[in-house]
Chain A
Amino acid sequence: MGWVGQVGRAGRARSAARTSRQAPPPPPLRLLWITPLRALARDTLRQLREPVDALGLDWSLELRTGDTSSSRKARQLQRLPTVLVTTPESLTLLLSYRKTARQLRRLEGVVVDEWHELVGSKRGVQTELALARLRRWNPALRTWGVSATLGNLEEARDVLMGTGRQGRIVRGPRRPPPRIRTLLPTDPGRFPWAGHLGLALLDQVTEELDRPGTALVFTNTRSQAEVWHDALLQARPDWEGEVALHHGSLERKLRTEVEAALEAGELRAVVCTSSLDLGVDFPAVDRVLQVGSPRGTGRLLQRAGRSGHTPDGRSQLTGVPTHAFEIVEFAAAREAASRQQIEARPPVERPLDVLAQHLVTVALGSGFRAPELLAEVRTARAYRDLTGEEWGWTLDFVTRGGAALQAYPRYRRVVEEDGVFRVRDRSLARRHRMTVGTITDDAQLVVRYRKGARLGTVEESFLSRLRPGDTFLFAGRRLELLRIRDMTAQVRRARGRSAGSGRGRTAVPRWMGGRLPLSTELGGVVLELLQRWGEAPSIEAARGAGGEGSTGDDPDGEGPGPQGSDAHEQAAVAGLLEVQRRWSALPSPDTLLVEACTSREGHHLFLYPFLGRLVHEGLGALLAWRLSRAEPRSIQYSVNDYGLELVCADPLALDDPEHLLSTDALLDDLMACMNATELARRQFREIARVAGLVFPGYPGRSKSAGQVQVSSGLLFDVLERWDPANPLLSQARREVLDRELHVDRMRRGLDRLQTLPVVRTTPERFTPLAFPIWAERLHARVSSESWAQRVRKMALRLEKAAGDAP
């Protein structure tokens, strides 16, 4: 991140020299600043304005994001400011207006901020396509990217530059890694082995926050943020007004208020999610706390970087583990950070849904000729290997609806006139502009008070389970649901807000959205630490060094040196590791630990590859399937970030690990056992939305869209049956393999596991490592039963409101 400043300065100096010839009104558009987060855009604008004002430039600087008022947007379409700060989605939208497209041709420079946030996603691809367009208009366009440290920084640079362009990496002065310390339970013996809300350390967090200064308390999910915010205020009612909440589902106004208060130094703490992850630098923030697993080293560093820097230039982060093994994760993250072992974010390759959306966008804007646009699209690195066939299909898809519709004359989206492709239908144009982007949300309901103020949005699936009169926790308030109408949930404050008013339970919304898995890199370091800490002498030694609270500067720790030692963390989990070792064995990077035990449920087999939850899910299904194929039986599996469990009525053994862990026929086996169709069906949601097959409807007009609204699942079924060659279907399957199952990681993992000697133990009970997996209870089943047999065994899922049928 350090090189931001330098590049920024260079760019400004150059441009400043040119503006010496003054002329009102402000010069036309010269610089685009693209930022992934709206919250960041405001901050960026402010930071850019300072030097521009100081230099007395006559430049205009403006924002254009989803939050910008429509009157200002309309004005901008007539004339863009000299510097425009915008998001990838808003930039794409600009490309869809003819007039603006003309103004964009004068552009001289683009800065893509926080590129690491975009590069691994479809939003990154969308940015690539927009850049390709801008570069074709002005081949001399200069591009800067600003990125945090990444495992694949060179690749990230190449993606930004596009094919056939050279880029250079400028590194700023390296900042020392942040100080990472871990809050530890005073009685480690009673610290839970599993769980994820983790209020066990609430008292210590309260103590931390009682110190002077301002803190950001990061959580991993929005629900967890709501719960922690509430718990802090229950513990310290006198902090009302000093502890705020910030997450992506809150109304923009509420978020802005919190950001302003934070900046003004008025707050003691903000409990937040990734909504405050990115570069907004709040000088007022003195401390950063991370509740729950760090998940990945890069992510933890990013969060640590939000804190104001101490005189020696180091930021600080305090880890708040929610269960015992997360203590090891924090120590591992510290070690990985000191080794500069940061995760890579591989770019997305050739998504045809994004391309289809782009074709409609360009057709709407300046219009295009096919060969020219193909050449342009191929300069975007994601499409460098786009085949003529894939291009042909996509073009056909947006003009005639794809091969299956050839014969249907009424279909039109993009039309060809004299070799130029354009969009002629105004309602289609409007609909397309509403849906530009690659971020898919579930149906969201607006939460608002009866008197009108909006609080934010909650997923429909959550609210539909509540009945009027039920209370739920949202936006840091206990709310009573009054009624749901027209995509709006009307609420009022529940009575007895403070201290646990025993009026039944208060529900906490759970937002969908992937729980990030533990990164493979971090998992590897956790394994190393477990091995190192598990060596008997050091367990004893560590226990001696045990203490409460911080892991300050124990000098004799041989670990990460200047990072501060991990002796306290080691001591806190020593007892736990001892139990693990006594009952079974400790896992290590050089062995594959397999635990076999029995319970009332049957025979269990536990494995600990430490490859992250998603990889384990695929691995669980694969092993269950291969084992049941060898000998017909029904096997269930369950996973967490550390390992996986197989359960069967009959004894299980990894007798033939070479075969079971083989990568031969890996894809075929996975497709066969993972209910790959169902996964692909789910993945299709995003693809259908991006490609313009389904759309969420117009804001505030939920009904008008109804007649062409269809679920992506139904569409998937129809296409699978009647247009099975549709490339969007194969894209869905590919995305499932890459993004849901992380097949590459699985393959590398299997290759390694195969070479490891198996350490087989037979503990009498679930070990500390096994218990959390068993407790996760997300058992999936590999079975050969027929549909009817399965259904007969199922019970109706009785909703809360059963008996309340219409």
Chain B
Amino acid sequence: MTGPGEGPPRGTRPATEPPGGAGPEAGLAFTWHGQRLRALPHRALWWPDRGALVVADLHLGKEAHFRARGIPVPEGPGQADDLRVRSLLAGLGARSLVVLGDLVHGAPSWTPAVEAILKGWMSMAEVRVVTGNHDLRAGLQEAPEGLEWLPEGTMLGPFRLHHHPVAPDGGTPLLAGHLHPVVRLRGADGDGVRAPCFWIRQDAMVLPAFGSFTGGHPVRPGPGDRILVTGPSPRDGVVEVPTGR
């Protein structure tokens, strides 16, 4: 197994690699509960005033998990996700990386390759992880030193950080993951698209799953919700679609 940073991933189509890093101008900027935020087409959230890159549901090591069970999945997705995180951290000059749970997928979780990837990130920024259900199953004891594990509900600025989206507690807005939200869109001529999205409600924002080897679950936005969809490639940008308010 190759370690991180040993050459570009296999394959020919650079689909989710950031084209020349992510400048601060990439994505779609908006203000939420007084904070300036930017939804990045790389399926990550940039919070400039805190210097924080927020992502959810990486599921590192998922390929290895499958292979150990006799299902051949190539090595690429983890490497691509690693590359994407590193170039975002560097391109944005982020001081911290906040993971909203499910950093890893399941046994074998803390493989040398995963460890090497995490060490690389920790050398660039402070890495803080809300414990997700997959992380708990993988076991936190064997996790590499230096990761900061946050219990659900940890406050960061005005936001509560969660893995599982929970009921609003009367006003404190929360950031969460876990759902892997996608929406289905349909054009007048039957043309259809299914895309990962940021799902923003009054007091809660659910981030799309960051991992390249993750599926999605369709969500049903209610009136007043905002949906920001991310394209198949970062070049496609982030598009807000109306939710029939």
Interface residues of A in 782-801 (CB under 8 A from B): 786-788, 790-799, 801
A187 interface contact, C-beta 8 A? no
With A404-B10, A779-B189 already in contact, the answer to whether A410 and B67 are too (CB < 8 A) is yes
Q: Say yes or no for A428: interface residue by CB 8 A criterion.
A: yes
Residue among B10, B187, B220 making CB contact with A794, cutoff 8 Å: B187
Partner of B72, one of A411, A711, A786: A411
Say yes or no for B147: interface residue by CB 8 A criterion.
no
B178-198 contacts to A (CB < 8 Å): 183-193, 195
* Contact segment of A90-98, A500-508, A721-729, A760-768: A721-729
Q: List 28 A-B contacts (CB under 8 A).
A: A401-B72, A405-B67, A408-B75, A410-B64, A425-B70, A428-B70, A692-B70, A708-B66, A714-B214, A718-B76, A718-B77, A720-B13, A721-B11, A721-B13, A722-B76, A722-B77, A780-B190, A781-B189, A781-B191, A788-B239, A793-B187, A794-B192, A794-B193, A795-B242, A803-B220, A803-B223, A804-B222, A805-B222
Say whether A790 contacts B243, CB under 8 Å: no
In the complex with contacts A410-B68, A718-B213, A724-B11, A792-B239 CB distance below 8 A: yes
- The answer to whether A791 and B185 touch (CB under 8 A), given A404-B10, A723-B10, A724-B11, is yes
The 7 closest A-B pairs by CB, nearest first: A722-B76, A401-B72, A404-B74, A794-B185, A722-B74, A721-B11, A723-B74
Cβ of B219 and Cβ of A791 under 8 Å apart?
A: no
What are the residues of chain A within 8 A of B51 when measuring CB–CB? Answer: none
- Contact partner, B215, options A400, A711, A777, A786, Cβ 8 Å: A711
Tell me if B185 and A796 are in contact (CB < 8 A): yes
Segment of B82-90, B94-102, B119-127, B229-237 in the binding face: B229-237
A794-B185, A803-B223 known; A788+B77 contact, CB < 8 A? no
Whether B15 contacts A693 by the Cβ 8 Å rule is no
Q: Does B20 contact A (CB under 8 A)?
A: no
Given contact pairs A404-B76, A410-B108, A802-B221, a sample of 14 additional A-B residue pairs in the complex whose CB atoms are under 8 Å apart: A401-B72, A404-B10, A405-B73, A407-B75, A408-B64, A411-B67, A692-B70, A710-B215, A718-B74, A722-B11, A794-B193, A795-B244, A796-B184, A803-B223
Question: Which one of A401, A715, A781 contacts B67 once the chains associate, using CB atoms below 8 Å?
Answer: A401
On whether A407 and B11 interact (CB within 8 A), knowing A714-B215, A796-B185, A797-B185, the answer reads no
Q: Does B2 contact A (CB under 8 A)?
A: yes
Q: Which residue of A lies closest to B237 (CB)?
A: A788
Q: Tell me the count of chain A residues lying within 8 A, CB to CB, of chain B.
A: 56
Q: Is there a chain A Cβ closer than 8 Å to B128's Cβ?
A: no
Q: A: which residues have CB within 8 A of B?
A: 397, 400-402, 404-405, 407-408, 410-413, 425, 428, 431, 636, 692-694, 707-708, 710-711, 714-715, 718-724, 777-781, 786-788, 790-799, 801-806
Assess the A791–B222 pair: CB atoms within 8 A: no
Given contacts A402-B72, A708-B71, contact A791 B229 (CB under 8 A): yes
B106: interface (CB < 8 Å): yes
B227 close to chain A: CB less than 8 A: yes
Q: How far is the CA of A736 from the CA of B70 in the complex (A)?
A: 27
The verdict on B241 contacting chain A, using a C-beta distance below 8 Å, is: yes
Q: In the complex, what's the smallest C-beta–C-beta distance from A74 to chain B, in angstroms?
A: 25
Q: How far is the CB of A394 from chain B (nearest CB, A)?
A: 12
Closest A residue to B225 using CB positions: A805
User: Residue of B at shortest CB range from A410?
Assistant: B68
Query: What residue of chain A has the Cβ atom nearest to residue B78's Cβ?
Result: A722
Q: Check: B160 CB closer than 8 A to any chain A CB.
A: no
CB neighbours of A692 from chain B (8 A): 70-71
Return chain B residues, CB-CB under 8 Å to A787: 193, 231-233, 236
Task: Report the minimum CB–CB distance from B139 to chain A (whole Å).
Answer: 15
> Which B residues are CB-close (under 8 A) to A792?
239, 241
Closest to B231 in A: A787
| Residues of B close to A779: CB separation below 8 A | 189-190
Closest chain-B Cβ to A681's Cβ sits at a distance in Å of 12
A718–chain B nearest beta-carbon distance, Å:
6
Nearest CB on B from A31, distance (A): 36
Within 8 A of A (CB), among B11-38: 11-13, 15
The residue on A at minimum CB distance from B184 is A797
**Contact indicator A413/B186 (Cβ below 8 Å):** no
Q: Is the CB of B219 within 8 A of A805?
A: yes
Q: Closest CB of chain A to B163's CB: distance in Å?
A: 15
A799 CA / B243 CA spacing, docked (Å): 12
CA distance A443 to B12 in the complex (A): 33
A791 touches B239 (CB 8 A): yes
Q: CB-CB < 8 A to B77: which residues of A?
A: 718, 722
CB-CB < 8 A to A693: which residues of B?
Answer: 71-72
Contacts of A720 in B (CB 8 A): 11, 13
Q: Is the CB of A408 within 8 A of B193?
A: no
Residues of B within 8 A of A724 (CB): 10-13
A415 to B211, CA, bound (A): 31
How close is B238's CB to chain A, nearest CB, in angstroms?
9
User: Given that A718-B77, A778-B190 are known contacts, is A796 also in contact with B12, CB under 8 Å in the complex?
Assistant: no
Is the CB–CB distance between B220 and A802 below 8 Å? yes
Q: Are A397 and B72 in contact (CB under 8 A)?
A: yes
**Chain B min CB distance to A769 (Å):** 22
Report A135 CB to chain B, min CB distance, Å: 30
> Is B173 among interface residues, defined by CB-CB distance under 8 A?
no
Q: How far is the CB of B239 from chain A (nearest CB, A)?
A: 5
Shortest distance from the beta carbon of A254 to any chain B beta carbon, whole Å: 33
**Interface residue? B9 (CB, 8 A):** yes
What is the minimal beta-carbon distance from A310 to any residue of chain B, in angstroms?
48
